[in-house]
Amino acid sequence: MKLKNYKPLDTDKIMKQLHNGKAVSEKAVEPSLSQIPSVAHRRRQSMMDNTNYKYAYSRKKLILHDKDCESVKHISDEDFEMLTTFDSQMALCSACYRKMLIRATVVNQPRKINLYVKAFDRLCCGNKKLHKLLFDHKAQLIDVDPNSLTIIVNKDKWLFQFHSDKLELYHNNYVVNDDLTRTFTPGFHLQSVYREPRYYGLALSEIISYSWNAHLKKEKDSAGSSYYEELKAKFDTVKNYKQIKESKYHITFQLIDYNYQALRFISGDKIVVNIRGPLPCDYIGRDEPFAMLQCRVRKSDVSAFKHAMKLLKDHAFSNKEYEYIEVCQTMEAEL
């Protein structure tokens, strides 16, 4: 039987190749100098492969990027540097800022960074809120898959489950001990269900305020109510309005509304001549219950207006909307 296309091995030729192999191969693959991976290039590769290194920058430009950022590809091997931690003191690339924030707090599965980013996109979480959640509240991102996200905030573990028609928020199980401390037990219970994608961001507000309340309670139970009092004092001193214009008979104010309540307090007394808003404001996220308004008040009504603004602040405080005061402080600090 003869196999089609079968050619006997040309052993002579093979032996020749083997003998000359070294010389041949050396000549054939002798790379030009530019093809040898330089020490700098190999250093870059090994850093990029190491998940401990999260951010990259050029020694010449000193702008920090997420390691996945397109701009990183344009950094030369010689100038290439990486960091393991997020350095907010450096100039930060705006294109990859969001990914940098998220990567800083990923504890498990760093290679799934894009799924983490996508989960926060689905939660309609703006960068300001993301920063607050991840840094002020020290959230840790511990698990992700295409339809869920698990994070820890102030010891509590939260699981977001995305469905086609709703978002479910689960909270870790726990039992309350006699001394009011909690012991965590395995598993989760359903905390809330959100049915409108545009309100999914409220799920994040919910866990932020849960963390605040847990914190407040702890502070109240241990060191008297010092922390709570401090916060109340802050609410009392910070102004939620700012004078921006004055004419012969009127004063125009800018104010921070909370939950559409401003009109209720100021229109009740018919003290506003003219109101506009919400005005574009870069420190109020789309998903936050705040808005900046502008209103013109008769000079004779200014004290009634200020009283209405105090009622608005009290309303926010009694609703535990502690972020309100931070937004007001930002307005105060703005020129």
Applying CB under 5 A, which residues contact Zn ion?
65, 69, 71, 93, 95-96
Helix-helix angle 201-222:226-237, to 10 degrees: 120
CB of 97 to Zn ion, least distance (A): 8
CA distance 83 to 66: 10
CB of 91 to Zn ion, least distance (A): 11
Identify which of residues 72 and 331 has a Cβ nearer to Zn ion in the complex. 72
Q: Report which residue type is found at 222.
A: S
Identify which of residues 71 and 330 has a Cβ nearer to Zn ion in the complex. 71
Strands 148-153 and 156-162: antiparallel
Contacts of 27 (CB under 8 A, 6+ apart): none
Identify which of residues 54 and 157 has a Cβ nearer to Zn ion in the complex. 54
How long is the chain? 335
Identify which of residues 56 and 151 has a Cβ nearer to Zn ion in the complex. 56
Residue nearest to Zn ion (CB): 93
CB of 134 to Zn ion, least distance (A): 18
> In what helix (H) or strand (E) does residue 292 lie, and over which residues does it extend?
strand 290-298
CA distance 304 to 316: 19
CA distance 31 to 210: 62
Identify which of residues 44 and 65 has a Cβ nearer to Zn ion in the complex. 65
Chain centroid to Cα 138, Å, comes to: 11
Strands, sheet with 63-66, edge to edge from the N-terminal-most edge strand: 80-83, 55-58, 63-66, 91-92
Identify which of residues 93 and 297 has a Cβ nearer to Zn ion in the complex. 93
Strands 290-298 and 148-153: unpaired
Identify which of residues 65 and 313 has a Cβ nearer to Zn ion in the complex. 65
CB of 66 to Zn ion, least distance (A): 6
Nearest in space to 103 (alpha carbons), one of 124, 82, 77: 82
CB of 68 to Zn ion, least distance (A): 9
Identify which of residues 96 and 204 has a Cβ nearer to Zn ion in the complex. 96
Tokens (6 digits) for 232: 């109340």
DSSP string, 69-109: -GGGGGS-GGGEEEESS--TTSEE-SSSHHHHHHHHHB-S-
Chain centroid to Cα 92, Å, comes to: 15
253: phi then psi, degrees, rounded to nearest 5? -115, 155
CB of 289 to Zn ion, least distance (A): 31
CB of 65 to Zn ion, least distance (A): 3
CB of 209 to Zn ion, least distance (A): 32
